[in-house]
Amino acid sequence: MEKINLTSWGDFILLGFSDQPQLELVLFVVVLISYLLTLVGNSAIILVSCLDSKLHTPMYFFLTNLSFLDLCFTTSIVPQLLWNLKGPAKTITSTGCVIQLYVSLSLGSTECVLLTVMAFDRYVAVCRPLNYTSVMHPSFCKSLAGIAWVSGVGNSLIQSTIVLQLPRCGHRHLHHFLCEMPAMIKLACVDIHANEVQLFMATLVLLLLPMALILVSYGLIVQAVVKIKSTKAWHKVLGTCGSHLIVVSLFFGPCSAIYIQPKRSYGHSQGKFLTLFYTVVTPTLNPLIYTLRNKDVKGALKRMLRRKPNS
């Protein structure tokens, strides 16, 4: 197969929202505010989870990983998006495009697996409370987090490398605001059926399979709570699992619409706005959801803010 030759590519043109110029200023403001909130919110969760000893539990270990992941994910996309929204120039260098493709796909894939791991953690907490400490011990939690990161990086290395080796015949116009797999595949000037099959198989393994495992986890949780037939137990489960369920819905919903839709709809306005939602809006909402719905996090934030500088 051909080697990736960055020097012969030239810059890519990210058409993004250029077909709706009246929206670009509004989107610039919305994306900028969302990005700043993402930086502040996720950094606060990481800081609180690390500093407050009461949050040194498996749940908050995984939440810290998720917050760090969201910080990196948005940072790999938003600065370039803001640059393109603020003016007529819509270019990204070939090197920048390659880096964005590898990093964003790696982090997006990691998030799919990490959210599944967090669902398993909630299953053990609700259905096996007496064994929770022995099952979710620190070394096992680190191994699960490591599997999530390694699987994401591995998926990106394989998929991105294959797509970047496709001949483009000078095509440089991406009908998107970032270098994303479906849009990159469409630049190829050869038969891409095999690549579409490969993308679909990767979607099955890293998107649909995690969704199925999450549904199974919550199905078992509901089954266990129904047997108890206690309103208090239902409230406890909602308090324990509600935030995670909302985050899962916000991430997997738009991702599914993008990667499971027919190939002809790649790059349409609807697809771009869905991608904008799960890459920019969802990482902004995640810390708000976990903070507003979680007494432990709110309590830790209050304790940290009340702490005297010399204490």
DSSP for 42-76, written as a single string:
HHHHHHHHHH-GGG-SHHHHHHHHHHHHHHHHHHT
Rounded CA-CA distance 290/58 in Å is 15
| pLDDT value at residue 2 | 42
| pLDDT value at residue 68 | 96
- The separation between the first and the last C-alpha atoms of the chain, rounded to the nearest angstrom, is 62
| pLDDT value at residue 3 | 44
Q: Give the list of residues 6+ apart from residue 165 with CB closer than 8 angstroms, or none.
A: 1, 2, 3, 4
Residue 274, CA atoms < 13 Å, CB-side half-sphere: 20
SS3 content of the chain, % helix, strand, coil (to 5): 75, 0, 20
| pLDDT value at residue 261 | 66
Res. 120: pLDDT tops 50? yes
According to DSSP, the β-strands at 173-174 and 12-14 are parallel
Among the residue ranges 130-139, 143-152, 179-188, the one predicted with the least confidence is 179-188
Average pLDDT over all residues of the chain: 85
Res. 137: pLDDT tops 90? yes
Among 49-58, 122-131, 139-148, the range of highest mean pLDDT: 139-148
pLDDT band of 69, cuts 50, 70, 90: very high
| pLDDT value at residue 303 | 75
Res. 5: pLDDT tops 60? no
Helices first, then strands: H and E counts in the chain = 13, 3
Among the residue ranges 142-151, 157-166, 221-230, the one predicted with the least confidence is 221-230
pLDDT band of 108, cuts 50, 70, 90: very high
Please write the tens of the pLDDT for every residue from 34-47. Answer: 999 999 999 988 98
Rounded CA-CA distance 127/213 in Å is 15
List the structure tokens of 162: 């294959």
Res. 307: pLDDT tops 70? no
User: SS3 of 91, please?
Assistant: strand
Please write the tens of the pLDDT for every residue from 263-288. Answer: 554 446 677 888 899 999 999 998 88
| pLDDT value at residue 33 | 96
Q: Where are the domains of the chain?
A: 9-306
Please write the tens of the pLDDT for every residue from 247-268. Answer: 999 999 888 888 876 455 444 6
Cα-flanking dihedrals φ and ψ of residue 10, to 5°?
80, 175
Q: Does domain 9-306 have CATH number 1.20.1070.10?
A: yes
- Is the backbone of residue 288 left (phi > 0), alpha (psi -120 to 50) or beta? alpha
Res. 138: pLDDT tops 70? yes
pLDDT band of 309, cuts 50, 70, 90: low
| pLDDT value at residue 65 | 96
